[in-house]
Homo-oligomer: A and B are copies of this chain.
């Protein structure tokens, strides 16, 4: 273990929600209103939103925000980077005292939404990082999503709940072996077929 960050295993995600609609402000605000973010540290500016806390809540909140935006039927996308074990990452440590119960799962479960997603795992500080990545890509073939490989990324297609489930599991299993891991993702829903 090459752990720079002491005892805290605080996770985080820096992401942006992109509604491809003139109503983008309303869609973003209403998604945020419907999602309970009280178990995570949160900071939003004009480029990204950053949330930090226990891994379970990071995935719960990002999935919920995406789902509540996608249920509008508009073409929405979300892109971001999950991170854990980042050196110096300690000022939101108080959120690590929250319980493990996700606050948004019940409401999220009511939303069925298909999506396409590309993700890439970056285990840092390890010379054998490619072995860790390949091992994980193999694992994801057993999930309830369609998995395909593409340049620089793995593509997942299916229900948003299954996609975020696969992302969460992939990230979790790699961070058990590697202290500092980041995972980029781009997810898209309600895309018109002929979009280029």
Q: Which of A's residues lie within 8 Å of B, judged by CB?
A: 2, 4, 12, 14, 16, 18-22, 24-25, 28-29, 32, 43-48, 50, 52, 75, 77, 79, 81, 83, 86-87, 89, 116-118, 120, 122, 124-127, 129-130, 150-153, 155, 182, 184, 186-188, 191-193, 195-196
Cα–Cα, bound, A195→B46 (Å):
6
Cα–Cα, bound, A191→B44 (Å):
13
Closest to A89 in B: B151
Q: Which 7 A-B pairs have the closest CB atoms?
A: A18-B18, A20-B24, A79-B79, A46-B191, A22-B22, A47-B116, A47-B188
This protein's copies in its complex? 2
Cα–Cα, bound, A21→B25 (Å):
11
Cα–Cα, bound, A151→B28 (Å):
21
